[in-house]
A and B are shown apart, each in its own frame.
Chain A
Amino acid sequence: MLRELEVASEILLAPPNIVTKEQRQSAEQIFLNFRKTKAPYVLCRHILDTSRVDYVLFEAAGLIKETLIRDWSMLQESDVLSLRQYLLQYVLNHLSLAPFVRERILQVIAVMVKRGSVDDFGLERSSIVAEIESLILHGDTVKKSLGCSIITALMQEYATTVKSSDAGLTWETHFKVKKQFEASDLKRIFKFCITAFSELIKAESVLNDPQTVNLLRSLLSITSSVLCWGFISASHILFIILLIGIFETVYESDQTPALRLISSWKDIIVDEKLISCFFQVHWKVRENTDLSHYSLMCLAQLASLTGPVVSDMQVKSRFISCYISNLITFLKSIKVLNTEALGFAQVFRKLLTFYSPTLLVTLPNELFPQLVQELQRLTCHFAEGAAYEETICSEDCRFIEAFEHLLEAWVSVLQCSPIYPPGFIKEPAVQIFNTYLKCHLAPPDGSRGQGGADHNEEEIYETEEPDRVRFKEQLIIIGIFGRQVLEHSLPLVAKLIEERTERLQSQLQRVFAQTYSISDSTQTVNLFEDLHWLLLVTGHLVAQESEGEQALIPSDLMTYTVQQSQHIDVQANIKLLTTKGMTPSQLQVPLTSLDGMIRILSAILRLCEVESQALEAKLVSVMSPELGSTIVWFLSHWAKSYLLPIDTLYTEVSPALDAAFISNESTVPNWVMNQLLEKVEANLRLCPNETALAKDSANLLLTLVDKPKKAAKILNCSGILTVARFLHNAPRCQPARRELTRGVTLAAAGEPNQTKRLEYLQQVLSPFVDRATEIMSSTNFKKECHEESVRLELIDLLECFTGSIQASSSSSAGCILQILNPVIGRLPELLSCYSNYSLLVELILEFLTESAKRTLWCLEEDSQNVQFLYKVFLNVMQAYARENIGRKSASSIISEEDSCRDLLLILELLTSIASKNFLEKISLDESVETVKAVDICIFGTEVIAPLLTTELLQFPQFCLKFYAMVTFTAEAYPERMSTVPDSLLVPIMTAINLGLTAYGPEVCSQCCDFIGSMSLHLSSHPELVNTSFGNYMHDFLKRMFHLIITCQMNSDCLMNASKSLFHLICCFQQSYHQLVNEILSVQTEDVARERLTNAFGELTTELNLTPDRANLLKFRDNFEKFVANVHGFLLVK
């Protein structure tokens, strides 16, 4: 037997060219059989004693473990004891064992200890820990490291995570023994590790002796896992079930949890010696990357100490004072190594996250100012490192990461700025702001690119994030720093932008005069990059990110400009702003009389002017599309807060800003707006091939119309009609056409008078409509439609229509529909013509989907417009069905999600229609003969059903949308859904049944909701019970219970499941009781059956099985307990 195994292991481990596939398979079979051996203890002992083949030893240990777990309850205590002692002795006697075999055997021991501790409350474990303690403290180096391995194996078994092996315990028991282990032995382990450390670090140098290094590594790994241990204080099983999920996510996200300790740890943790011990350990090992990783992790975890152990404020202050003073002394005496950067950044981040500056400022000996000083020093240092890593495009981005951590730490510091003495934060803010700028500017002003290679030749793909996305977090915080010292930062960036714009201008003049040399072109690229970064920094300095909220002028900036206003000459500012292309010195305006913000904006408008002039002069190939994009990004980011804001938002506004950007009375805001519109138009016209630039420019247009107040102003600008005219005549396939049309259409919201609004919209949209009708009304259209030019033009027009319908608002939807009406009515016909051209089919469906989404909600259901749209939807779907049912094409094997985009769009359309009516169902008037939303939904489902395949459902997006649509329809129209013909019912119900398990939690919740709505409907319509619909619902009762009890249903869906189960139980009470009896009868274990019986009893206790809200809520609570309870004892980890 042994010989056979040894030969088999040789074959298994042999390189592939020596053995055949068959040999390998039969060798594998030998081991698979071996793993099934019954009562293998004697055999395994024999193997362990005699074999020399590591792999066989490993398998033997594994077999022991599996058998132990399986047969634990049948084993004699004495057998267990002797086996464990045998294994322990075995490891002690075979010190030269291969590490993986040793670990495996130790794991077996750990499993035995853990199982044993369930019965003896950990008595034996404590004695084992005591043994190991003496091994570690007094044994020789080899024994010491063996001791460490045992501890590691033990801790792994008791930990909460997937790391521990299946020990055959339920979660409930697992948590019980884990708590027991935490309370008794974990602290002891930590303590003797510390003792061992203090011995080890007495030596002058610890890194020379490899054995000591190994031992240190083991000890550090143990202590760091203690400090990262997921301590749980919850005692209730319900919480525990919830916590499992939380712990798993925390571990996966590699963010270690805070060190949260109970008060019994006080004597050891809140100890000055302990803190200085960890700093000393790090001092000794910092040259060794491997070890210093652990020691820094320990330090970072200590910095996050919270919980009852430091609930006393004095204790807390004492602890953190000691920590900080050690930290400062340490940092002052060393130069941070590259490998330490990330670790120390973590220390600062944790420290400032868990210890608020409000506490830290109260510490004695100026500790907080010193800490901030160190933080500042490191931040500047890491900023430089990060910039260097960026230039060399290093894979290794430890400085970038470390820098970002430190910035996070700064956020905590900056948030508390009101409590610091005046000027406290100024110095660091100036330093950090300057350093950041310097790192991103070319020499001589800055240090960008020094030491790095030239990257101007590198290919950059569109998938790469642009800087403004990639470095957004950094830039936001740098902006906060800048706003701490506006008197410094505003003039600085203004000056830098002015200067570089001038330089750029003279460079471009040289190009024009053809005196441009190669060295000039490098300089130009440097200027582009400088300006690019200056705009990014300035953008975040003057305006905050405002996604999803009202954009505001930052209050510190507002206060600053108000304070400055006494020196400011409003007229001079306006003159500078509105005189195109002139610098302050050319206008002879003293810089001191300029408002900071206005000076910056006029500098940037000047840059726009320089750029546009160059483009007009056909220097497109010299200019940078990237800088162009950054410029329009800045303008749009800036305009969101500054240009024509709602003035009631501000209590005080500086006169200069008011006159330039805010006031309704002033004409200057209008002038600025027109400048921006002209920039949009110039970019589109002069750089038609840069898609990204076109999109960013369109985006600027959209910010200019995002508020009715702005839209009202924009209607007075000549620029908006320039853009519209550009669109009417734009070259074919102009990028961002849809967004641009949306922009010009949105402006209509600014016109309060309905007739005038219609007039404006006609002016903007009619040319598109006229052109489309002209094409489609041609007598030869049936033939012409296949011509490429016709098709391309229709594609462009459809893009415009979609853009305009996207701009629908409650005030404009009616007008837009009225204008587009002639085109919309012909879409079914168009779809039939182009059924062979997927792009056009998709565009038509997309247009309809958008119109369902954007316009239906603001129109009355029985209004003409809605009826018109409904009919079009119906006709288009009929046309689609006619063209696609029974169709098979050469590319029907779906290879990409793209190929089902048309179906996806139909689903989206149906969902929008179903949801619209869901909101306004009450207003339905049954007497009038109208198309109802429900007709479209049911018809649409009929169209989709025959095209539905399991392959199609494998596409996550399609799958989600399909289920969402079916569920929505069921919620809105259960009466129709329950009476659909079998030809439709069968595919729907099959899909729902499949969705419960096959496609993840989100789909599962949808299916539960579907069953819930339909069973609720059934409970009020008992006559449906015996239909095939009723039969399906009946089957769902059993299926869902089965899924829940066997834990096949994701815990995220349980809330939805409870609702549908309750309704199902209400409908089929008798079947429910039968089902319960069935489930109970298959339970073999008495205890489990009894607990299950009780659990079922409690599930329906104190509630009536009538489907009303009160009972439903009660059932939901009961159900939650039921699940936690049942899984607690049925589910074996």
Chain B
Amino acid sequence: MTLAIKVKGLSKSFAVKHKKTGFLESLKSLFNPTFSEVTAVHPIDFQVEQGEIVAFLGPNGAGKSTTIKMLTGILHPTQGSAEVLGFNPWQERAKLAFHIGSVFGQKSQLWYHLPPIDTFELMSRIFELPRADYLKRRDELIERFELGALMNIPVRKLSLGQRMRCEMAAALLHRPQIVFLDEPTIGLDVVVKHKIRDLIKEMNKEEGTTLFITSHDAGDIEQLCKRAIVINHGQIILDDTVSNMKRQFLKHKTIHLKLQEVPGQFNVPGVKLVKQKGAGIRLSVDTSQISIENVLSYIVQNYQLVDVTIEDPSMEEIITHIYEQRREEVD
């Protein structure tokens, strides 16, 4: 397997100007500013193989986007080296740009008042695609993303889900080898989320595209990624397969129950009563001790059920958990 991304000892620190309170102090700092160094990313190492789908996770301000900016060549690192598709990103940014794509869930690259076809056309020019190649690729993507009916409707009239499909297709026109996806499913309804995830998976399978995904959606990570890199305070605190991560951290599920009548004691090993309010109860299930299936059948056998929901801990909870664990180790 060839490497898509190779990062070694990459770090970034910024000089931040001190702002002191008080008029005299701010006057002083105008002529004699004091700076302190803030490390956004500590030396990090990781590698991504071509064709991998990697989740890049961490809370806000963890150093995610600084890292991505270094990998796309927007930022120069303070130290260390990186190779993306064999290019040095910050020295060969323009060359690299032809081979990478990006989809940002919260930013649109489509022209708002124009139909998507116009943005596609513009992209073909920006990426200097030969005409015939472009047309072939465009039609292929239109078919795969089912955009036929949408291509000539102004973007402002599309639903968020339809727009996202167009965004993705637009980002893929130049056949990027690596795609950076930032919150690709944010704000989408469940059905559309699935659709987008299926498309992402398909793209990875059929074209061998390497995907680097940042998301706060546990579903994105579970369903798409085989591997997760978790970063916090500028350090990689976990780099493991998602299944390992789940085994370790998604051991708990929460069950919300609404029963016909107020229940008695719950005496099932691995199940903990978290909260009870009349006939409504919340249980925490340790799935390493008992399967959800067994818990549910126990409930169905012993109680009259009105409503039930099962929840995973949120990705944020998992990350917090991971981080806290690591900190304990350090301490």
Chain B binds chain A:
no
Which A residues have a C-beta under 8 Å from some C-beta of B? none
